[in-house]
Structure 1
Amino acid sequence: MDIKLFLQIVGVVLGLLYLWLEYRADIRLWIVGLVMPVVHGALYYKAGLYADFSMQVYYVLAGLYGWAVWHNAPRKGASAGAIAHTPWKWLPALVVGYAVLHAAIYGLLVHFTDSAVPFWDSLTTALCIVAYWMLSRKWVEQWLVWLAVDAVSAGLYVCKGIPLTAGLYVLYSVLAMAGYLRWRRQAAR
């Protein structure tokens, strides 16, 4: 079996498990989130998606951070570790953070790699960083950021010849909408 095919299959299985755990707001998502980057990192490197490859290091570190935040959240009280909407005061910082990350990653890809898709690779990578941080805060709107990432990534992965992973991201897009609706209902309670 081709290594890219094998990595795609394992990545799809881990990705589905991760998304199911995220949908349920289950802390075990962070454990799967520590294994999945190793598989996806190897796949993205083979496919020449260097920003996505380097992003996997961030995912491991962010996974440790997210697990610690969720694990150490207060267990009692109405707002203890609760799902909530993104505070309005955070929106400018999130937008500026995204723009700075996108520009920096794009510059690195253009000047230091042979990436054929530096704009799109840096776009999805910068959005992933923002979305993952929002997830660590249990903010509902992280699902909308993931929806954008998933839709762009699906097309990007088709272009890069990793169709099973592209299919996973199409499914992620559908599930991101379901997750958004579920978390929005939970935040309203």
Structure 2
Amino acid sequence: MMQEILSKTSWLEWLGVFFAVVQVLLAQRNNIHNYLFGIAGIILAMFVKFNAKLYAEFTLDFYYLVMSVYGWLFWKFGKKQTETPISFTTTTEKYKAIGIVVAAFLIFYIFLTNYTNSDVPLWDSLVTAFAWAGMWLMAKRKIENWVLLNMSNFLAVPLFIHKELYLYATLTAFLFVVAIFGYMNWYKILKQQNNG
């Protein structure tokens, strides 16, 4: 069984997963260089997911690519040309995040159902919608990004297994655990910022 799984795993998937692991470990430690590894991993993941007919996931990765560049610039310079601190979302940002989830879900579900040969339009759309909102919050350095990203991760593991992308399923399960520690670490940093 394991040999069969490994034989179905392309070198693109292996390399993409490696870069993604490095990225999330650096993000969890609040290290700005996470974006450089993330960009490399995202580009590789785009090829793999498009070939697996995970079109919403492909589009999500394109969004991740754009948001990674934006996030790197925002983390680096922010509005005041200094590094942006971690913060909680405001009420307005919470409504925007909910809006992103709902709008992304509807757009992807309608598109995948009517214009693609996707066999998992509902599932793919839901995973993607939570991730879009989570990545937006991460780029703004909001602690709640970890919660939304983990909602996406929770739903994505069985989706990747269904698509026989076992390495990405394993990566996503790993990301789920890392996101828990990421939240705790960012919370500790946030408390130190507020007390300092």
Map 1:88-99 onto structure 2 (within 5 A).
88-99=91-102
The residue identity in structure 2 corresponding to 1:68 is: L
Query: Which residue is equivalent to 2:45?
Result: 40
**Contact persistence 1:4–1:46 (CA under 8 A):** no
Q: Tell me, in whole angstroms, the C-alpha distance in 1 between the residues paired with 2:60 and 2:21.
A: 19
Q: Tell me, in whole angstroms, the C-alpha distance in 2 between the residues paired with 1:147 and 1:94.
A: 14
Query: Which residue is equivalent to 2:16?
Result: 11
Match of 2:169 among 161, 166, 169: 166
Match of 1:24 among 20, 23, 29: 29
Say whether 1:53 aligns with 2:58: yes
Q: Tell me, in whole angstroms, the C-alpha distance in 2 between the residues paired with 1:34 and 1:162.
A: 20
**Contact persistence 1:4–1:43 (CA under 8 A):** no
Number of residue pairs matched by the alignment: 186
Query: Which residue is equivalent to 2:133?
Result: 130
Say whether 1:140 aligns with 2:143: yes
Q: Tell me, in whole angstroms, the C-alpha distance in 1 between the residues paired with 2:58 and 2:146.
A: 22
Unmatched runs of 5 consecutive residues or more in structure 2:
1-5
Unmatched runs of 5 consecutive residues or more in structure 1:
none
Deviations 1:105-155 (A, max 9, x none): 110000111111101111111222111110111111100111111111111
Query: Which residue is equivalent to 2:3?
Result: none
Q: Tell me, in whole angstroms, the C-alpha distance in 1 between the residues paired with 2:12 and 2:153.
A: 18
CA RMSD of aligned residues (A): 1.7
Displacement of 1:70: 1.2
Q: Tell me, in whole angstroms, the C-alpha distance in 2 between the residues paired with 1:54 and 1:81.
A: 27
Q: Tell me, in whole angstroms, the C-alpha distance in 1 between the residues paired with 2:45 and 2:8.
A: 12
**Contact persistence 2:9–2:167 (CA under 8 A):** no
**Contact persistence 2:100–2:132 (CA under 8 A):** no
The residue identity in structure 1 corresponding to 2:41 is: M
Displacement of 1:4: 4.2
**Contact persistence 2:87–2:143 (CA under 8 A):** yes
